[in-house]
Amino acid sequence: MTASVDLADFLPAYLAEAEELLGAAQRHLLAVEASVRRGLAHPRAVRELFRALHTIKGLSAMVDVESIVSIAHWMETSLRHADRAGGRLPEASVEPLMEGLREIEHRVRQLASGKPATPVPAGLLERLEALEAAALGTGPAKPAPVTLELDATLAARLSAAEREQLTAGVASGRRAVRLDFVPGAERAASGITINSVREHVAKLGETVKVLPLSGPAAGGGSLTFALLLLTDAPDAALLEAAGGPPASVRSLVSEQAPAPAGAPAMPSEPELESVAARMEDEPEEQRRGGGTLRVEVSRLDEALERLAALVVNRSRLTRAVAELTAAGAPTRELTTILQENGRQLRDMRAAIIRLRMVKVADVLERLPLLVRGLRRSTGKAVRLELEVGDAELDKAVADRLLPALVHLVRNAVDHALESPEERLAVGKPEEGVVRLACHGGASGLLELSVTDDGRGVDATAVAARAGVPVPSTADGLLDVLCRPGFSTRDAANATSGRGMGMDIVRRIAVDQLGGELRLETRLGVGTTFHLRVPLTITLLDALVFECAGLRYAVAVGSVEELIDVDVARLVRPAGASGVTLVERRGSAVPLLALERLLERGRPEGRSGAGAKALIVRQRGEPVAFAVDRLLGQQEIVLRPLEDPLVRVSGVVGATDLGDGQPTLVLDLAALGAARGGAVRRPEPRQGRERAP
């Protein structure tokens, strides 16, 4: 079947677009709901929602997903009535529409995971259809007909809705005109293009349709844009907006036509059908004006890959030039070119990284809907406050971060917030608040916080539940909460107010993203989780060092200090095998032998004398990791390790330092935490390592 081949080709683009449209639809439906609850109309949101659904329907029809087409269709129908009623939606309509969106989303996810979309669930279409029946008869009466004077070419390309829009406009007392704009090189040079004309004309009236007409045009051109407008502006103003002759203005209604006496006032905005239809009919040229391009992430990854190869090649070139220089060759110009080349590569890389950034606000658009669902399922009164500004984040980070945030918000509503009765009893407002704030911090980090004004985490209860001593610090408490498998629903609900699957949140924020997770809580007052994650995990400023004969890299941002280790001043506490203490500015810092954490023996049995150490904060406490030699600082491209065979704690990924061999990029804090407790016996691995 050839259709399936086409479908597979089209699916990634379809999914990307459907996701985006669903996000928009959810946003607008929430806005509609908010208005409905206050008894207000929200015509703009109704239209936007309709437009999103209409596009989803069209796209879904193209990939032949009948169930989504039907759901979207019936949702559209009920919205059409809402629009005729001036953007007023009956309250009873909100829930079926929500359900419809959920069902569409569900099916899009099915398609994304390679499954066929399931049929429409029983009863949904009936519920949506019932909305239509309920809403019928609410639309205003049609205006008296007005005859349009259109030549055949135009008439053929005008939809019924557009005609209606024009006649309705005339009925409400505006002029329907045709403005012909003839583009030309001269005009383009002085900044007059169809886009600028559209912009100017938009200020003078309502553009119903723009039709590009090819054929001999006034002034010797071969292309004319016919703009059909509803306006109150005089011809002269319109002509001026189109750059003067050869532009021309013609009325679409013969002046002798009897003015429709006492015609009912019509909404001045176009009807929904025409809104949607216009989007589809607009010539490509105008749609491109928006300047946004949708690109699959894999293509950006590919560009970055190619660039990484260039960077690697450059370091080889640098080495070769250095050798030439050492051999006495005249390489001054070569060196200059290399420097310039290096700068260009850095700029190029920054540009590609920028392409991968998404707005944090867009990432979080799902949360209001989540909270709405929780409000219904828990019966709690809760308000979500988002304070996200315009910070941006690498798509790869955003994709990983979202589940953690969803988790924190869900926990806050599910477990931390008290029921309305409880809240009133302790003198809090009935409605709880969950607040998500985010700031693009300095040094390439994004700071996020999820705050609730709920009951706070009861450390004693948590400790009792986990069977451990009561932690004395917030970090200690967080450790207990983050124990894998800690917390049953009952513990979380009744006593702790927190803690469903916090290990997942920590794993994402700390292990996968190399960020930080902290907790602040006051009993009875509320809890805040602070997250700090890097804006991008693809490009890192890294320290490269050598340890037990191999090179490794760590993110510069994670290292607090570099120190020289003076062996004479090391202290070995009795009984603490492998851990020594090193003095740093008057305090004792534990010194771990990194080679042991890395399971690397020292074949020659030499000691780490004269070595350096990297100081890293592990749960807020400084820990020193002894290494052999520092090799320098450089920008690296991180390749995450995704295969389960090599997805281990403490290793965030690999990079290529120019020798074609992967170099591990470590997260020292995670490595120390995961393996510091039980340092394993180094396994013999001779014959399988690469030479240093």
Partner 1 sequence: MSVLHVVFKVDGAEYALPASDVLQMESYTGATPVPGAPSHVAGLVQVRGRVIPVVDARARFGLPPGQRSLDTRVVVGQLGNRIVGLLVDSAREVLKLDPAQVKPPPPLVVEGARGFVKAVAQVGPRLVMLIDFPRVIGEETPNGDGQR
Binding site for partner 1 (CB under 8 A): 305, 308-309, 399-400, 403-404, 504, 507-508, 512, 550, 597-600, 639, 641-651, 654, 656, 660-664, 671, 674-675, 683, 685-691
Of residues 122 and 645, the one with the C-beta less far from partner 1: 645
Contact 141, 187 (CB under 8 A): no
- The structure tokens listed for 70 are 């039907």
Nearest distance from residue 542's CB to partner 1, in Å? 15
Q: How far are the Cα atoms of 55, 74, 167, 372 from residue 84, in angstroms, in the given order?
A: 20, 16, 16, 27
CB of 241 to partner 1, least distance (A): 50
Q: Is the peptide bond before 246 cis (omega within 30 degrees of 0)?
A: yes
Beta bridge partners of 439: 447
Eight-state DSSP code of residue 309: H
Is 130 or 641 the residue whose CB approaches partner 1 more closely? 641
Residue corresponding to tokens 């994402």: 508
Q: Which is nearer to partner 1, 370 or 461 (CB)?
A: 370
Give the tokens for residue 637. 């491209």
Rounded to the nearest angstrom, the gap between the alpha carbon of residue 639 and the centroid of all alpha carbons in its chain is 20
Comparison of 274 and 512: residue with beta carbon closer to partner 1: 512
Rounded-to-integer distance, Cα 234 and Cα 54, Å: 35
The encoded tokens of residue 358 equal 């998404």
Minimal distance, residue 687 CB to partner 1, in Å: 6
Write phi, then psi, for 469 (nearest 5 degrees): -60, 155
- In the sheet that holds 516-522, the strands lie side by side as 382-387, 432-440, 445-452, 526-534, 516-522
Q: Nearest distance from residue 412's CB to partner 1, in Å?
A: 18
Q: How far is the CB of 691 from partner 1 (least distance, A)?
A: 7
Sign of CA dihedral 583, 587, 590, 594: negative
Say how far apart CA 527 and CA 499 lie, in whole Å.
Answer: 12
- Those residues whose C-beta lies under 8 Å from the C-beta of residue 279, and which sit 6 or more positions away, are 51, 55, 287
Q: Least distance to partner 1 from the beta carbon of 536, Å? A: 17
Contact at 8 Å (CB) between 28 and 48? yes
In the complex with partner 1, which residue's Cβ is closer, 16 or 570? 16
Cβ proximity to partner 1: between 137 and 687 the closer is 687
Nearer to partner 1, 512 or 618 (CB): 512
DSSP state of 220: G
Contacts of 145 (CB under 8 A, 6+ apart): 167
Are the C-beta atoms of residues 535 and 592 closer than 8 Å to each other? Answer: no
- Cβ-based nearer residue to partner 1, 161 or 308: 308
Tokens of 23: 């996000």
What H or E segment, with its residue span, contains residue 208? strand 205-214
* Shortest Cβ 319–partner 1 spacing (Å): 18
Minimum separation from the CB atom of position 20 to partner 1 (A): 18
The minimum distance between CB 111 and partner 1, in angstroms, equals 16
Q: Name the one residue in this structure whose structure tokens are 């699957």.
A: 501
Question: What is the CB neighbour count within 10 angstroms for residue 632?
Answer: 8
Instruction: Kindly state the smallest distance separating residue 10's Cβ from partner 1, in Å.
Output: 21
Q: Where are the alpha helices (DSSP H) in 1-42?
A: 2-37
Tell me the closest approach of the beta carbon of residue 671 to partner 1, in angstroms.
8
**Closest CB to partner 1 among 310 and 334?**
310
Q: Which two tokens stand for residue 475?
A: 């970090």
DSSP state of 158: -
Tell the residue number behind the tokens 């949140």, with chain if given. 505
User: By C-beta, is 16 or 239 nearer to partner 1?
Assistant: 16
| Cβ-based neighbours of 583, under 8 Å, separated by 6 or more | 569, 571, 589
Question: CB burial class (10 A; 0-12, 13-18, 19+) of residue 644?
Answer: exposed
Beta-carbon contacts of 44 under 8 Å, excluding residues fewer than 6 positions away, are 87
User: Looking at beta carbons only, is 110 or 286 nearer to partner 1?
Assistant: 110
Q: How far is the CB of 483 from partner 1 (least distance, A)?
A: 16
Closest CB 13 distance from partner 1, rounded Å: 19
Would you say 275 or 304 has its CB closer to partner 1?
304
CB of 546 to partner 1, least distance (A): 13
DSSP assignment, residue 571? B
Residue 214 CB neighbours (<10 A): 9
Taking the alpha carbons at both ends of the chain, their separation in whole angstroms is: 55
Output the smallest distance, CB 512 to partner 1, in A: 7
CB of residue 640 to partner 1, shortest distance in Å: 9
Q: Which is nearer to partner 1, 574 or 645 (CB)?
A: 645
Give the span between the Cα atoms of 546 and 553, in whole angstroms.
9
Q: Which residues pair with 295 in a beta bridge?
A: none
